[in-house]
Chain A
Amino acid sequence: MSRTYTGLAVTSADELVFGKCPNPVSCGFDLTIGAGQVFPEVNFTLPAIAISGDTWPRILAHYEEMARNILKRAISLQVPGIVLEFELLPPMTEEPEWGGELTALLHRHLAEAHAKFGLKSALRVTPTDIRDQGKPPALRTGPAWDSLRRCFELCISAGADIVSIESVGGKEVHDPGLLYGDLRSIVFALGCLAPRDTAWLWGQISRMCADSDKKCIPGGDTACGFANTAMQLAHQKMLPEVLASVVRAMSAERSLVAFEHGAIGPSKDCAYEGPVIKAITGCPISMEGKSATCAHFSPLGNIAAAMCDLWSNESVQNVRLLSGNAPEAYTELLSYDCRLMNVALSKGQGALLRDWLTESDQWLNPQAAILSPAATCEIAEAIVGTNGAYERTLCAGRAAVTIIRRAVEEKRLRLSARELQWLDRIDAGLSEMPSDEAELWDEMLQQHEGSFDPSSYGWAQ
């Protein structure tokens, strides 16, 4: 079953705030997300270790240790609730039984913590999208999809409360598009390919959740492989910041499509387009910012928290720090951030803290400028104000250009000459895009022949 969003669930920027959303979700062990509190979402992973049958006992020991330490810290800090995210590594998705075994292990720890201490919690499980292994990738059939599907089934059965994925449909065109600054390829990937894959994939995932006898909710997706790739390349001075900003806005539609095909939130932590999703769907979102510095840097450290319902650290390895193991340390860091946000909410000052979080980053980088509550609503309105994923993607991109240009003209945001040149280039490129999606398909089928498989996107030639 699918739906199309044609309006905003949160109609005013002032109503977009952390901890609250019109459509909270209940899952796991008595946890309700988006109903008035922010919870930490701790995302943890292995240190440098080869994954094989030989090392499997050591790997199990790492996950036992991480779960034990995270929950010990959470209970000690009296968190009102917590989400643990288990992001599978590729070998754990390729061998689905491994993913299932670790899910069961983590579920057991949460069950014990709930039984013994009343800790409210949920386990998010995110299999790796391994479908991009072939050239061109086969997204709907083949051994990679078979393993991925089996992995979802086993993890749901083993106790996952929320399932997510960082889906990569369209990335095979988007990556070279980014590197060559080829806006037409970028728009094609985000507006034509990715939404088709997201629609199909989330139809599959939602059905698996519905068909299971276990209660597991289809959380949401992320444009990590598109917009965060652009963000990291911009951080390394490889791409313009303005391009990363426009890509971020344009990536919201393909993530929204997950919600049009069954996802109910919380969306994935690395989906920085989450606020746009929240404004349109009213569903809860997970976000990461300064707390993700264990995994990557970003220009969005504070503003990313402004509208979050779960506050995450992206991914931290199980390595020893001076205080203790890193997953335990980051549990504390996230818990204190959430504590502050929840006190602000309880005193009716959530909007004030949100505004401080926003203003501390907003005008220092164009990527932050498009992430404020006001910019979020402007981009969200541009999306729902038109029809079709291609047109929505274009409108989101144009809205981002408008927001950035206005900020420069009002002397709030300063951009270098070469960034401004790129803004003009992007603006011109978006205005030159064909109005007929089919025209773009014809062009891209020629330009990217052999890079992507049209049948993987349900496109009949």
Chain B
Amino acid sequence: MSETSKLYTSILSGNAKDAAAVVQQALKDGCDPMDLVAKDMIPAMDEVGRRFECEEYFVPELLLSGRAMKAALEYVRPLLAARGAKPAGHVVIGTVKGDLHDIGKNLVASMLEGGGFEVHDLGADVAPERFIEAIVSRNPDIIALSALLTVTMPSMRTTIDALKAAGVRDRIKIMVGGAPVTESYAEEIGADAYSDNASAAVALARRLMNTKAVG
């Protein structure tokens, strides 16, 4: 099996130690880091996402694969950065003010990282001002808002309104999600996109990046 196949397999099986060892060997053997990402690592994560959608993988398998991807990326990322290569996008994510739930948000963050996005996680119970501050200081492409309670859903609207009032709304795309959130609510509050599950969030984020590029 070639090193690159082993890389694909070690990410698919969620073996972070192997993934790190294999990628180091592959780089030593002269493999192009961009090829490693594009031809092995991201396809491995896409397959992981497919298996999760088909109910072949549970979340632990998905996250362990994400962890293996990250372990391999540690060696590849500096080489890509030196060439000026960029991540798939930059996302700031958080659970809105008043809501302490973070499992769904953590899952989406992990999936986005596995999908090649750079993610800055603000945590839970995040006030609108912190999202604004993150937009100003980090210049993200996407803000991802999570809420798990119907009584905290209004905080999504409050947050988006605050972004508008601060004049930063048009700088970013907004995606929302969480158990009580619906597509119609997302439209109502002025979000750009809605996802009802973590693995679909990656495809959604990629679509938003495309619309940002052409918009």
Question: What is A's interface to B at a CB cutoff of 8 Å?
Answer: 45-51, 89-91, 130, 132-133, 135, 175-176, 178-182, 229, 233, 236-240, 317, 418, 422
Question: Which of B18-26, B74-82, B99-107, B137-145 lines the interface with chain A?
Answer: B99-107
Tell me if B56 counts as interface (CB < 8 A to partner A).
yes
* B123 and A50 contacting across the interface, CB-CB below 8 Å: no
Tell me if B208 counts as interface (CB < 8 A to partner A).
no
Tell me which residues across on chain B come within 8 A of A130, comparing CB atoms: 100
Quick one: which of B145-165 are within 8 Å of A by CB?
149-151, 153-155, 158
Given contacts A90-B100, A179-B103, contact A49 B151 (CB under 8 A): yes
Question: Which of B32-40, B42-50, B58-66, B168-176 lines the interface with chain A?
Answer: B58-66
Give Cα A46 to B152, complex, Å: 11
Give Cα A92 to B151, complex, Å: 12
* B154 and A50 contacting across the interface, CB-CB below 8 Å: yes
Tell me if B3 counts as interface (CB < 8 A to partner A).
no
Tell me if B118 counts as interface (CB < 8 A to partner A).
no
Closest to A176 in B: B106
Tell me which residues across on chain A come within 8 A of B123, comparing CB atoms: 135
Tell me which residues across on chain B come within 8 A of A133, comparing CB atoms: 100, 124-125
Known pairs A179-B103, A233-B59, A239-B60; list 19 more (Cβ under 8 Å): A45-B151, A47-B150, A48-B151, A48-B153, A50-B151, A50-B158, A89-B98, A89-B151, A90-B99, A91-B98, A132-B100, A133-B125, A179-B106, A180-B60, A180-B67, A181-B61, A181-B64, A233-B103, A418-B56
Tell me if B55 counts as interface (CB < 8 A to partner A).
yes
Closest to A135 in B: B123
Tell me which residues across on chain A come within 8 A of B67, comparing CB atoms: 180
Q: How far is the CB of B122 from chain A (nearest CB, A)?
A: 11
| CB < 8 Å neighbour of B102 from A48, A175, A240 | A175
* B55 and A90 contacting across the interface, CB-CB below 8 Å: no
Give Cα A430 to B76, complex, Å: 37
* B58 and A238 contacting across the interface, CB-CB below 8 Å: yes
Give Cα A233 to B61, complex, Å: 14
* A48 and B154 contacting across the interface, CB-CB below 8 Å: yes
Closest to B102 in A: A175
Given contacts A90-B100, A135-B123, A175-B103, contact A48 B63 (CB under 8 A): no
Give Cα A176 to B106, complex, Å: 9
Residue of B60, B124, B153, B158 with highest tally of chain A CB at under 10 A: B60
> Can you offer 24 A-B residue contacts whose CB atoms are under 8 A?
A45-B151, A46-B151, A47-B151, A48-B150, A48-B180, A49-B151, A50-B158, A89-B98, A89-B149, A90-B100, A90-B125, A130-B100, A133-B100, A133-B125, A176-B106, A179-B60, A179-B63, A179-B106, A180-B64, A180-B67, A181-B59, A236-B197, A238-B58, A418-B56
Give Cα A133 to B154, complex, Å: 20
Give Cα A178 to B62, complex, Å: 12
Q: How far is the CB of A232 from chain B (nearest CB, A)?
A: 9
Q: How far is the CB of B105 from chain A (nearest CB, A)?
A: 11
* B98 and A90 contacting across the interface, CB-CB below 8 Å: yes
* B155 and A240 contacting across the interface, CB-CB below 8 Å: no
Tell me which residues across on chain A come within 8 A of B155, comparing CB atoms: 50
Give Cα A96 to B177, complex, Å: 30
Tell me which residues across on chain B come within 8 A of A238, comparing CB atoms: 58-59, 107
Q: How far is the CB of B199 from chain A (nearest CB, A)?
A: 10
Give Cα A135 to B125, complex, Å: 12
| CB < 8 Å neighbour of B58 from A49, A91, A237 | A237
Give Cα A91 to B100, complex, Å: 11
Given contacts A179-B107, A180-B64, contact A239 B150 (CB under 8 A): no
